[in-house]
A and B are shown apart, each in its own frame.
Chain A
């Protein structure tokens, strides 16, 4: 992505081109290309240590890139001093000034830019983050979650062209977090600022962002609207990191050539002897060996030999339920397949079907429209969170 000529409408897009950061021999951010459209809510999602903070720090000017450029609209800000950038950060560690009151912390940016009358803005900002009445306290006198909201207010009040949020809701409890997510989203749409939001929390990324970029080991694995990322993961890492996936080794046996080869545009696959179909559009690879993937909630379990309530299309037989865990809204099943692999299925507790027991013989049914195919050379366990393994 070498210097695309910025179209007129995209006035102040944030564009990272070939951005690289090396610490000694370790490459933290590796040749990153990214366009964050003006006024969009952009989420950067990835496991710990994948380079999210480093990327934000380069955009904020706190870290000098080893290579590449950062442009904001038509301005190249790659080497601009941090205090000259129209960019503010909500730091992962808050970094509130311990010697200043909450009000003075929030007013800091405005004061530095020469604003005298700040009291009103500060009050409005503190109301917004629900810290009314704490203006005179010191940061040390606040809880972790309150400090985090001060950090948010301190950055937001400046109305920067780009707001960088480094896990700004990490220390909040679930209820407050949901509330702040809605609040953040509202502020962002109202003010029309560009938000770059870094998070570990895939749910947060998917509910809030217009565009999600999944990052892994210093690179972007895939980028797109949350639904697309979820439904059509491009790599095994994305398939596993964003939600869960069943990945089964398979082989393309038909339909890969001219579309409509008698198969309605589907790719025909052989999976451990069974024939399975996948939507042509959702097959990243449509030749040779592939990982055949399906999300656990798309899988319907039926007792062996019994047809499922609604015909699904794909079927893998010979499974044995090896574990059942009840999680309230749904039940999670682990099913051991004849070839030894354990697959996962989620079943809504809608009361329409009886719960299966451990040891029950079952068949797995799902639709070709929910099947995706990934490059078999990738590690099927990439991006699986440790607790899921």
Chain B
């Protein structure tokens, strides 16, 4: 008859009073973040996945039926595989361009800027004070057919007589690069800035020329920043549609453009299936990337 008494604390080992309280307050502290995550990440993701399995013959007006229609994925892939691949190619190219432009910049700010350091950092962040849309629109002018840049490039024969920049893949990648460059520079700067100058002296003492020291010491120590920077540029670039919308043409459409159009047209199941595919592909790529670039060289 001791049953009900015992079930009060079923088989839990008697915890140390302090540990018990610590555990409880730990969970309490997690609560706000947990609620936030549940509300704005778990629920939407679950809804998205659910929507991607709706019967595609429904509509917003008539309502959708949950039929577990996995075929949505195959259909969306069949129709939009080129855009998906293009998204990754553009995002990859833009990320590469961000590394090429961002690394020297971050390096210069960290090691060579002296008292200009803070000013240069502010300059990196300054574009955020204006809207993303306005900044992208301004590239329409910069790359426009009647503007100075194109005229100049035509004059020096880099572009043909009727060559243009706007509405080309080049313009889209340029826009992506421009918009996400700060997300590359800032984490890179943070990593580089932390590198103790004495490591480079030790490398020099141990027969490393400045270039070798860069390759064997500076670069590995900057890896965390490089990984963070590439993720912060690649992931949003892959899902972006503004740059393609404003600077591209129908042949440069990215998967984001298609998803946006599908939602606008009310084809929720296909749009959701495409979104889930994009998300899964990014997660997979990032996972492989972090695995390969990570652990070995990271501190």
A residues touching B (Cβ–Cβ < 8 Å)?
Answer: 60-62, 81-83, 87-89, 91, 93, 95-100, 108-109, 112-113, 138, 140, 154-155, 158
Contact = CB atoms under 8 A, between A and B. Distances in A.
B201 A95 contact: yes
Contact of B205 (A89, A138, A140): A89
A91 B212 CA distance: 20
21 contacts: A61-B204, A62-B201, A81-B209, A82-B201, A82-B204, A83-B207, A83-B212, A91-B202, A91-B205, A95-B196, A95-B198, A96-B202, A97-B217, A98-B221, A99-B217, A99-B299, A108-B206, A109-B207, A112-B212, A138-B299, A155-B206
Quick one: which of A82, A140, A155, A158 has the most chain B CB within 10 A? A82
Interface in B284-299: 297-299
Given A99-B220, A99-B221, A112-B212, A82 B198 contact: no
B199 interface: yes
A93 B202 CA distance: 10
A98 B206 CA distance: 15
Contact of B206 (A99, A112, A138): A112
A164 B212 CA distance: 22
B205 A83 contact: yes
A112 B221 contact: no
Nearest to B204: A82
B217 A82 contact: no
Nearest to B206: A109
Interface residues of B, number: 21
Contacts of B297: 99
A157 to B, nearest CB: 10
B208 interface: yes
A129 B223 CA distance: 31
A62 B205 contact: yes
Interface in B173-229: 196, 198-199, 201-209, 212, 216-217, 220-221, 223
Contact of A98 (B208, B209, B216, B299): B299
B202 A95 contact: yes
A62 B196 CA distance: 15
Q: Sorted from nearest, which 6 A-B pairs have the closest CB atoms?
A: A95-B202, A109-B206, A112-B207, A82-B204, A95-B198, A99-B220
Nearest to A87: B205
A98 B220 CA distance: 10
B207 A113 contact: yes
Given A91-B202, A93-B198, 4 more contacts: A62-B205, A82-B205, A95-B202, A100-B220
Given A98-B299, A99-B220, A138-B299, A91 B198 contact: yes
Quick one: which of B202, B205, B207 has the most chain A CB within 10 A? B205
B299 A88 contact: no
B206 A88 contact: yes
A106 to B, nearest CB: 10
B220 A88 contact: no
A87 B202 CA distance: 12
B207 A97 contact: no
A148 to B, nearest CB: 14
Interface string B99-142: 00000000000000000000000000000000000000000000
A89 B198 CA distance: 12
B67 to A, nearest CB: 53
A158 B206 CA distance: 8
A363 to B, nearest CB: 56
A83 B208 contact: yes
A83 B204 contact: yes
A109 B209 CA distance: 12
A62 B198 CA distance: 10
A333 B202 CA distance: 48
Nearest to A151: B202
Quick one: which of A89, A112, A154 has the most chain B CB within 10 A? A112
A72 to B, nearest CB: 15
B212 A97 contact: no
A95 B207 contact: no
B201 A97 contact: no
